[in-house]
Amino acid sequence: MAQSMYHYMGEAWKQPDKEVMKTRLVQWRAGNSFTVVDKPLRIDKARALGYKAKKGFVVVRVRLLRGGRQRSRHTHGRKSRKQHVRKILKMNYRWVAEQRAEKRFGNLVVLNSYPIGKDGKNNFFEVIMVDPHKPEIMNDKDINWICVPGNQKRAIRGLTSAAKKSRGMRSKSHSMKVRPSLRSWDRRGK
């Protein structure tokens, strides 16, 4: 049975060509942290996440440093409460990339994102962003929900797919004490 073009593109991304990816990563490393691209690199993934090739949709490639997500160790005298270097963030890299893109482009709202590559130093993501003030977006019944004021700043409020995954909102298990949030769960008994 014949599959669609997007199926084969998705299969090709499971084992990308190493030489092509190497040259891309070298170019991306030399570029800026935020780069607005004309078309998404993974068109199959972008279309599945809601991207349309029309005015109002913007795709941004975000470069994010890997590692360094721990506190620097306290060096002045021994204070046991300051000796640990636990992680500062409970966020995955994709969520951090979405937040930074939303702060960088204040008039746009994050729809979704996906990874496009990583090397020893950086993670690279493409973030799909939408301009809620464009008439093309307002008149599109599939995406005009993002124009509602309650759907602004989605990445910063933790409402995107990556954020919900990082917050443990995908699983509805009662054993995971994360709903509605870890802090509110702790406050319930007090």
Q: Please give the pLDDT value at position 84.
A: 76
Beta-carbon contacts of 181 under 8 Å, excluding residues fewer than 6 positions away, are: 167
Question: Would the pLDDT of 57 be above 60?
Answer: yes
User: pLDDT digits over 59-117, tens only?
Assistant: 999 999 988 777 777 788 877 777 777 665 678 899 999 999 999 999 999 999 999 99
User: pLDDT digits over 117-165, tens only?
Assistant: 999 999 999 999 999 999 999 999 999 999 999 999 999 999 999 998 8
Q: Please give the pLDDT value at position 56.
A: 94
User: pLDDT digits over 158-189, tens only?
Assistant: 999 999 888 878 776 666 666 677 677 666 66
Single-letter amino acid, residue 83 = Q
Q: Please give the pLDDT value at position 85.
A: 75
Question: Would the pLDDT of 1 be above 80?
Answer: no
Q: Please give the pLDDT value at position 162.
A: 93
Tell whether domain 5-156 is in CATH 3.40.50.300.
Answer: no
Q: Which residue has the higher pLDDT, 33 or 180?
A: 33
Q: Please give the pLDDT value at position 130.
A: 96
